[in-house]
Every structure is written in structure tokens, then in C-alpha cells.
Structure 1
Amino acid sequence: MILKDGAACLRNLIHLFRPAASSLTSKLGACYFCTSHVASLQQPGKPSVFSSDDEYADLDWDNLGFSIKPADYMYTMKCSKHENFKQGQLSRYANIELSPSAAVLNYGQGVYEGTKAYRTEDGRILLFRPDLNASRMKIGAERMCMPSPSVDQFVDAVKQIALANKRWVPPPGKGTLYIRPLLIGSGPVLGLGPAPEYTFLAYASPVGNYFKEGSAPLNLYIEEEFVRAAPGGAGGVKAISNYAPVLKALIRAKSRGFSDVLYLDSVNRKNVEEVSSCNIFVVKGNVISTPATNGTILEGITRRSVIEIARDYGYQVEERVIPVDELINADQVFCTGTAVVVAPVGSITYQNKRVEFKTGSRSVYQELYSTLVGIQTGVIEDKKGWTVEV
């Protein structure tokens, strides 16, 4: 009873001073102790006693954009090298403590995932194929010499984050709750080698459209100076070290008015690979082509789902090498990714020549987008078993 009353008092305090909640949690050692130990008493899949009863967080749901707006809770679990992850726990979203010599800070030993929670018209919360995110993290962790959570542990963590942060899941049609699972080498190292300790954590943020254009067609720039990945590297896994190197090309392209950068292969500089943050598809007649995932291209979960949906609709889908000249002669082009969903490409600029593509309501991308989002949000019956209700 004392614990329950104390938790209620702290909950009310945090509610009254919500703008400073994170500061209170970090500065008041007793509060942090209480929060951590109460959270550890929860059953798996149950939110902390500090969960708000409010149906929605106080946000401008019509103008979310794609920027961090931290939800209330994050999930954390740790393990040592050569051990397995144990049961983790929810805690308030807050800064984490790392050694200056942590492997992730010094050598970039880390992988991450991105998935979303969707609110249906009848109020349910759905996840989309989180088991595939878990499997992809395991593959990436192995490449980066890291232990990883089991598929069940990963999915359970994502479920807990979605449930505990339910009030941050946008209303239907207003956006999604983006969930970021992260696996890092948190233990200290000096000489180059795997970390002695690893941390898995997951946090969430409500988001709207990834691109500032919203649903408008994208304008891509084909990069010829920089490459994203090379054979034998880690381009095919979601390593954190893959993303900072593309910033220079991306910033330069955006300063020229482009939406994003499309990269070519590092060997011949003639074949299409992927965009900075998503996969690319080329449409010619009834044939939809996308670059094969040969080790330099990330095997996107949205990519995989769109391929299956397209084949259900009778399209011939090919995963193969796509020369840039073939791309330029396409009828339609679109991108896919967890963040971007399915986004039309209106133009591509290559060697100072701009080529435009068909877009609009009758485009192939629109058909695939409507079906995919319909399944994700419960509007279309999920006959494939892709969605998981929280």
C-alpha cells in the first residue's frame, strides 16, 4: 500500500510538472529509484504505473513532421559478451550513461531498427511485421560481432513500448508512432575489438511524413562522387555506421532543392542501388524492378511487403541489377521504407539532365500504397498475418 501511494504521489507530481519531468527524474535520485523499481514490478507487456489515463498526448497532430518528440517510456536490457539478454524493463524516457570509451562511441559498434505502431478507426493499436525487424537486427548484430535479443524478446519490447506510450499513437490518418529499437556496444574498449557489454533499448516518437514534401512526388539527385556502400562492407545491414557518411551528399543535394540522393554501385558507377533512407523501384509496363539485395543494399521490410503485394496484383516483379540508363527510361519510379512508406518519384536528375516520371492517383505506387497502408491500419483485412495487435 505504501508503495502504491508513493507511486501515485510521484505520478501526480510528474503530471503537474510534465515539462520538467525528465529533469526531475534525473536530479531526484529517490524518484529515479522509485520509478525504476516500480517499473521492474510490472508484468511483461504491462505499462508502468506512471502511465497517463489521457487518451492522447497534447500535440498538434495535424503538423507532426518527422522529428523527435519523445514519448513517455523507453525499454532497456543489457547483457555481457558471450551471454544472452535477460528480461528488460520500462523506464521514463531519459538520457543514458555511457563510458567515454564505449565501443559504440569509439568504433561505431551498433545497429538499429525502425518500426511503427498504427491506431485503427476502432481504437486498436497494430504493429507491422515486427518479427522481421527482429530477424534483421540479429543478422546485423552478427555482422557487427554483437549478441542480440531473441525474436520473442525484441517483439515483446516493441509491444511494451507501444502499449506504455499508447497516448502518443496519433489519431487515425494523422500519423504513426515510430519505434526505434537500438543495439549498441555500451561496454568500454580501447584496443579495437568487441565490447564487453551490450545494451538494447527502444524508444518512440509520434511522426508524420518523412519528407517535407509530404505526399508530393520526390525529386532525386543521382550522386556520382560519393557511394553509400561497397562489396564486402556492411551496406546490407542496418549498421549505425552506414548513415553519417551519406550526410555530406544529402546536405549538398538538399541545398540544391532535391529531396534525397540516389546512389550508384561503387564498382562501375553505372547501376542503381538505393536512396539514402529507402529502397527504389522502377516501373516499365507491367514489370516492376528493384535492385537485388546483394550485400550492399538493405533488405527493407516495406520493400519485401510491397513486392508481395505487387505480385498479388499480377505485376511481374524482378530483383536484379538495374543500369542507370534503364532507370532514366522508366514509366514510373517510387521509393519504399518504414519511414517513407511508399513515395512517388516525380523526377530524377542525372548528369545535369532532369527526367520526369508519371505520378498521380492512377499510378502503380498509389495502388500499392493504398493496400499496404490499408493492411497496416486495419482498414483492409490482414489475410497474410502481417499485423500484430498490442
Structure 2
Amino acid sequence: MSIDWDNLGFDYIKTPYRYISVWKDGQWDEGKLTEDNTLNIHEGSAALHYGQQCFEGLKAYRCEDGSINLFRIDENSKRMNRSARHLLMAEVPEEKFIQAVEEVVKANEEFVPPYGSGATLYIRPLLIGIGEGIGVHSAPEFLFTVFCMPVGAYFKGGLTPTNFVVSDYDRAAPHGTGSIKVGGNYAASLLPGEKAKEKHFSDCIYLDPTTHTKIEEVGSANFFGITKDDRFITPLSPSILPSITKYSLLYLAEHRLGMEVVEEDVYLDSLSKFKEAGACGTAAVISPIGGIQTFDEFHVFYSETEVGPVTQKLYNELTGIQFGDVPAPDGWIRNIK
């Protein structure tokens, strides 16, 4: 397969191998690599009827010396297991999760984009409830699979400011599944996301479902803002998915850039205090927000065409760590030779 590494989108590309393992009778099997990219599951599987499923997203990065970095993979494992506990699913032991990801990356190493291309290998661990059933209860069996594909930027244009619009739809209920990575949250975002794109915005901004006065998420990514007095602020809410990228940026802003960092409510009527803003996540990395269309005005941050200096520094620091060009905090990188 011939791949144009410099012009990859964020699309599915079949790679040769994926990992699969089944939990049955109280334990996981050994798991194995397979070339089959289809899942054969029972028609009564709880994942199909009642949404008993969760997933993760992480990336592998080609370093200058040819080795491959995995970024904070232990945090992905922990987050998947938090999701599993919430949905009464069998947890995947961290050792098994990491081993599965590493096996998939090694088996598909030729699809890890070259250093300097800006592209990465996107890895998707998936946990679903399977087996015979039809009642509303936890599945009798679970399937854990990991597959991967090379990807480019999630938002077209990469590190270029794009605009977003505030949605009057809710992404998740106040005390629901907003803080865990389940497919239902993303299904709920499809219609409002499509409406935003019809209006020529990259995606929509979700407000808190209780009062509709505070920013929670930016499409499927987390929001951050840089205030005029150089504070790094992200929203605080039990409905927000705890982004590994966001918490990495909180650390880097404080320890590498010397900024004050805060998780607090971000009110829609207080956007004027931010000189820069962005969306962040594994897929998006950092996507600068040029402007936000609220219900009654269009608010521009640093620029609709240029990246703000603080956002640029954070991006350089984060991606430098991921690609092995900048020293990483202890435990952040797992290197595959």
C-alpha cells in the first residue's frame, strides 16, 4: 500500500494486524493477533442493544532515531477501566492493555508514519459487551480489541485556528456518562456537530446541561483558555471527559512555562478574559480556536488566522515530548525499539 504520509486525513485505513481477547466465565483468554478486521458477535450482544461499550484513543509516534514512542499509555488503561466499572464491564488489566497495544504497534510498524511527517499511528482499544442476551443487564461475555491506522490532523489544516459555534443541544446528562468514554456520548454529538458544519464551523461548543451558561467541551475535545494575565484555565465539571492531553497541558503550562493553572467554571459571558483558546485531545492534539459564535455574538480570541504564542509553545512542548525531541516528565513515555 502506497501512503502519502504528508497528506493523511483522519480516516480508517486497514492495517494488517489487530489484537483480540475475550472474557468468559470470569477470566480473560490469552488474546491473539489476527488479520481479520471484522467482529462476529451474537445478535443479542448488550453492546448492540444497550450501548454497553467503551473505548480509548492513543497514538504511536516515530522518533528521529527510528524508535517508537507511546504517550502516557497507563493513563489510557486507567481511563478505560473507569469506564468499564461505570458500565459493569470486566476490567482489562493494565499489563494486558499495554501488552496488546505494543503487540499491535510492533506488528504494524511499517504503518507508523516517518519522523518529520507530522502524522502518527492512531490506536483504538475497544471493549464491548457480547454474548447471548436480550434483557437490560450486563453482558455474560466481553470482547477487547485493539486496532490501528496512520492518521493526519483531526481538524483540517492542523495547527491553524478554526471557528466553533455554541450548541443548544446537550452532550450528556448532568449526572450521566459525560465523564466516561462511551459511544453514546459521541452518538449524541453527531446531529449538533453536523448542524455546526452546515454553518461552516469546525464543530460545536457544548455548555453545561444544567444551566447552559458554562463551556464544557468542544465537539469531542476539551476546552482550554489563556487569560490576559497568563493563566491556563480549563472547565471543571463532572460531565467532562478527563482528557489525558488536557492534564498533560495543565502540567506543562505550570512546570515548563511557569503559568498558573486552574480548573474552574468557564462562563460563556466571560470569554473576553481569554486572549487565546483552544481544543485539545488525543485526536485533535491542540486545535487553536479562532472564534466562537455564541447565541448573540461572534467572539474572536487571538486571531482567526494565526496561532497565539502561548498555544504555540504548548504545542511545541507537547509534540516535542511525544516525538522524543523534548525531555519527558518521568513515566510519560514508553519507547519501543
Give how far 1:87 is off.
Answer: 1.8
Map Cα deviations across residues 361-384 of structure 1 (whole Å, 9 max, x no partner).
Answer: 552111111000000000112243
Aligned partner of 2:226 in structure 1 is 283
1:190 paired residue among 104, 121, 134 = 134
Task: Give matches, 1:12-23, under 5 Å.
Answer: none
Aligned partners of 2:158 and 2:287 also within 8 Å? no
Do the aligned partners of residues 276 and 207 (structure 1) sit closer, same or farther apart at CA in structure 2, a change above 3 Å counting?
same
Aligned partner of 2:84 in structure 1 is 141
Equivalents in 1 of 2:165, 2:69: separation in Å? 35
Aligned partners of 1:70 and 1:93 also within 8 Å? no
Give how far 1:96 is off.
Answer: 1.2
Task: Give matches, 1:157-196, under 5 Å.
Answer: 157-174=100-117, 175-196=119-140
Map Cα deviations across residues 250-291 of structure 1 (whole Å, 9 max, x no partner).
Answer: 001001100011100111110110112100011112111111
Task: Give matches, 1:321-340, under 5 Å.
Answer: 321-340=265-284
Aligned partner of 1:269 in structure 2 is 212
Aligned partner of 2:300 in structure 1 is 356
Map Cα deviations across residues 97-116 of structure 1 (whole Å, 9 max, x no partner).
Answer: 01111110011100000000
Letter in 1 for 2:335: E
User: What's the C-alpha RMSD, in Å, of the aligned pairs?
Assistant: 1.3
Do the aligned partners of residues 309 and 254 (structure 1) sit closer, same or farther apart at CA in structure 2, a change above 3 Å counting?
same
Paired residue secondary structure (2:210): coil
Paired residue secondary structure (2:27): coil
Aligned partner of 1:202 in structure 2 is 146
Q: Greater relative contact order (Cα 8 A, min sep 6): structure 1 or 2?
A: 2
Aligned partner of 1:115 in structure 2 is 58
Give how far 1:215 is off.
Answer: 2.2
Q: Highest CA radius of gyration, 1 or 2?
A: 1
Equivalents in 2 of 1:94, 1:268: separation in Å? 43
Q: Please, what TM-score do these two structures have when normalized by structure 1? A: 0.83
Give how far 1:353 is off.
Answer: 1.6
Equivalents in 2 of 1:361, 1:264: separation in Å? 24
Letter in 2 for 1:367: K
Task: Give matches, 1:45-60, under 5 Å.
Answer: 58-60=2-4
Structure 1 residues not aligned, in runs of 5+: 1-56
- Would you say how many aligned residue pairs link Structure 1 and Structure 2? 331
Give the structure with the higher percent helix.
Answer: 1
Paired residue secondary structure (1:331): strand
Give how far 1:387 is off.
Answer: 0.7
Paired residue secondary structure (2:290): strand
Aligned partners of 2:276 and 2:308 also within 8 Å? no
Is 1:80 matched with 2:24?
Answer: yes
Do the aligned partners of residues 344 and 248 (structure 1) sit closer, same or farther apart at CA in structure 2, a change above 3 Å counting?
same
Map Cα deviations across residues 119-161 of structure 1 (whole Å, 9 max, x no partner).
Answer: 0111001100110000000000000110021111101111111
Equivalents in 1 of 2:179, 2:310: separation in Å? 27
Paired residue secondary structure (2:163): strand
Do the aligned partners of residues 185 and 378 (structure 1) sit closer, same or farther apart at CA in structure 2, a change above 3 Å counting?
same
Equivalents in 2 of 1:151, 1:317: separation in Å? 30
Aligned partner of 2:327 in structure 1 is 381
Paired residue secondary structure (1:243): helix
Give how far 1:328 is off.
Answer: 4.4
Aligned partners of 1:85 and 1:148 also within 8 Å? no
Give how far 1:222 is off.
Answer: 0.6
Aligned partner of 2:288 in structure 1 is 344
Paired residue secondary structure (1:78): strand
Map Cα deviations across residues 194-234 of structure 1 (whole Å, 9 max, x no partner).
Answer: 1101000000010000012332202010112x111122201
Give how far 1:342 is off.
Answer: 1.2
Equivalents in 2 of 1:253, 1:67: separation in Å? 20
Aligned partner of 1:5 in structure 2 is none
Give how far 1:58 is off.
Answer: 2.2
2:173 paired residue among 230, 234, 245 = 230
Give how far 1:192 is off.
Answer: 0.6
Identity %: 38
Aligned partner of 2:314 in structure 1 is 368
Structure 2 residues not aligned, in runs of 5+: none
Q: Please, what TM-score do these two structures have when normalized by structure 2? A: 0.95
Deviates more, 1:132-141 or 1:355-364: 355-364
Aligned partners of 2:223 and 2:235 also within 8 Å? yes
Aligned partners of 2:54 and 2:80 also within 8 Å? yes
Aligned partners of 1:84 and 1:149 also within 8 Å? no
Aligned partners of 2:159 and 2:286 also within 8 Å? no
Paired residue secondary structure (1:282): strand
2:75 paired residue among 129, 132, 140 = 132
